[in-house]
């Protein structure tokens, strides 16, 4: 992968010599009226149609892109306004899947867990329309999150393949087709979400094979990230260093960075996307707290290889809380950059600039 593809996201008017890329993992709270319109669109007695719902999604995407840009993020997204759930959304668009009703997953929560009943196949694009609309609405680069093939396989009923590994590889080939289509449409920042890896870390080799298939033929200027949230990272490190990715995105803030040392031996050789705000609490971290969290990242990589982001998607937070966390995160990042420019931060002997 390219060592320099993050520089394409540095704004022309960036105020500091140092540049720590700021981004969002993916999901963002939906405006309440989006959920209301979705309910009405499902009600045959209402006057709302799928066309009305599509219009509402367009409006919500514009609102969230504008909100992201006003926080000062370097790369933005539409907050996944058109997506319902990270597996269901994609399974609904992949030939070979079918739905047979919700299953109980924990407590009183239900998940519309899909089944793979035939060989999976790529039909129409999954995300190109979403990307093109968001890209047209944004003045900043757009990041595209995609649920990874291992998670798509692990969180489905497999009734068609010999095992989940074979299903994962078949899905990875489809993700590769989708990434090629996104790149053709202009996307330059793709994030593969694999939360299932945190619960079954012994399968890291399967995820590695999936990633090899996903990036096959993808140009080096396209930035590929991998997001794995929560779990025991020591069970996938250092193996993850073999993955063909530009950055590894981790959730460490809500664990108070107790696992930060996992990534120091052996040397971390890819870029790091570090979670610096906790998405499981409505307490808004202060700028000073976030600056301390960002400095945790310098224990692993130099500033030019550090991306700053929330721990995970922020969709479960109240929208105003999510906005305040992101705004403080960006402010903290710009202040850290200025302090680096001024030589006020000692990076220590273990982390040196490239």
Percent of the chain with pLDDT over 70: 96
How crowded is residue 222: how many other Cβ atoms within 10 Å of its Cβ?
20
Domain that holds residue 99: 10-28+72-342
Output the pTM of the full model: 0.95
How crowded is residue 52: how many other Cβ atoms within 10 Å of its Cβ?
14
State the pLDDT at residue 201.
84
How many domains would you assign to the chain? 1
Residue 350's pLDDT band (boundaries 50, 70, 90)?
low
Question: Does residue 64 form part of some domain?
Answer: no
State the pLDDT at residue 106.
64
State the pLDDT at residue 3.
59
Q: Is the pLDDT of residue 159 over 70?
A: yes
> Which residues pair with residue 106 across a beta bridge?
109
Percent of the chain with pLDDT over 90: 85
pLDDT tens per residue, range 11-32: 999 999 999 999 999 999 999 9
Q: Is the pLDDT of residue 352 over 60?
A: no
State the pLDDT at residue 231.
87
Question: Does residue 212 form part of some domain?
Answer: yes
pLDDT tens per residue, range 98-154: 998 888 766 667 788 999 999 999 999 999 999 999 999 999 999 999 999 999 999
Residue 285 and residue 308 in contact, taking contact as beta carbons nearer than 8 Å: no
Task: State the DSSP H helix or E strand holding residue 95, giving kind and residue range, or none if neither.
Answer: strand 94-99
Residue 220 and residue 214 in contact, taking contact as beta carbons nearer than 8 Å: no
Question: Does residue 52 form part of some domain?
Answer: no
Question: Does residue 57 form part of some domain?
Answer: no
Apex 329 CA angle, 327 and 334, nearest 5: 100
Q: Is the pLDDT of residue 178 over 60?
A: yes
Q: Round to the nearest angstrom and report the end-to-end CA distance of the chain.
A: 16
pLDDT tens per residue, range 64-95: 999 999 999 999 999 999 998 999 999 999 99
Q: How far apart are CA 171 and CA 114, in angstroms?
A: 14
Greater pLDDT, 117 or 42: 117
Q: How far apart are CA 289 and CA 47, in angstroms?
A: 49
Residue with tokens 């202009």: 186
State the pLDDT at residue 35.
87
Question: Does residue 58 form part of some domain?
Answer: no
- How many helices (DSSP H) and strands (DSSP E) are in the chain? 10, 12
Question: Does residue 54 form part of some domain?
Answer: no
Question: Does residue 1 form part of some domain?
Answer: no
Q: Is the pLDDT of residue 2 over 90?
A: no
Q: Is the pLDDT of residue 4 over 80?
A: no
Cα distances (Å, whole numbers) of residue 174 to 144, 146, 170, 204: 16, 12, 7, 20
Average pLDDT, the chain: 94
What CATH number is given to the structural domain containing 125?
A: 3.20.20.210
Q: How far apart are CA 139 and CA 126, in angstroms?
A: 23
Residue 347's pLDDT band (boundaries 50, 70, 90)?
confident
φ, ψ for residue 105, nearest 5 deg: -110, -40
pLDDT tens per residue, range 297-344: 999 999 999 999 999 999 999 999 999 999 999 999 999 999 999 999
Question: Does residue 76 form part of some domain?
Answer: yes
Residue with tokens 């509402």: 56
Please give the full DSSP string across 233-298, using - where no structure is assigned.
Answer: GGGTTTGGGGSS-SEEEE--GGGTTTTGGGGGSS---SEEEEE-S-TT--PPPPHHHHHHHHHHHT
């Amino acid at each position: 992968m390219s060592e320099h593809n993050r520089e394409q996201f540095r704004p022309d008017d960036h105020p500091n010599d140092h540049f720590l890329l700021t981004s969002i993992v993916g999901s963002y709270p939906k405006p309440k009226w989006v959920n209301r319109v979705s309910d009405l669109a499902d009600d045959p007695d209402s006057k709302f149609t799928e066309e009305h719902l599509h219009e509402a999604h367009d409006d919500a995407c514009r609102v969230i892109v504008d909100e992201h840009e006003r926080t000062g993020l370097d790369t933005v997204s539409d907050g996944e306004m058109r997506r319902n759930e990270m597996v269901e959304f994609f399974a609904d668009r992949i030939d070979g899947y079918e739905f047979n009703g919700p299953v109980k997953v924990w407590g009183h929560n239900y998940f519309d867990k899909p089944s793979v009943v035939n060989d999976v196949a790529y039909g129409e694009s999954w995300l190109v329309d979403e990307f093109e609309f968001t890209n047209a609405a944004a003045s900043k680069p757009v990041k595209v999150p995609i649920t990874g093939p291992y998670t798509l396989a692990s969180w489905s009923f497999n009734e068609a393949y010999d095992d989940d590994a074979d299903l994962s590889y078949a899905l990875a080939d489809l993700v590769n087709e989708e990434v090629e289509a996104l790149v053709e449409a202009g996307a330059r920042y793709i994030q593969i979400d694999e939360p299932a890896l945190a619960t079954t870390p012994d399968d890291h080799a399967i995820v590695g094979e999936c990633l090899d298939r996903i990036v096959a033929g993808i140009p080096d200027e396209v930035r590929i990230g991998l997001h794995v949230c929560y779990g025991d990272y020591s069970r996938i490190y250092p193996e993850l260093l073999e993955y063909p990715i530009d950055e590894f995105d981790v959730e460490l803030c809500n664990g108070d960075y107790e696992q930060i040392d996992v990534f120091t031996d052996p040397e971390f050789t890819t870029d790091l996307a570090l979670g610096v705000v906790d998405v499981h609490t409505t307490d808004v971290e202060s700028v000073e707290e976030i600056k301390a969290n960002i400095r945790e990242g310098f224990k692993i990589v130099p500033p030019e290889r550090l991306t700053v982001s929330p721990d995970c998607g922020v969709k479960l937070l109240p929208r105003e809380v999510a906005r305040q966390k992101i705004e403080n995160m960006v402010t903290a990042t710009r202040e850290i950059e200025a302090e680096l420019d001024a030589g006020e931060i000692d990076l220590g002997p273990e982390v040196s600039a490239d």
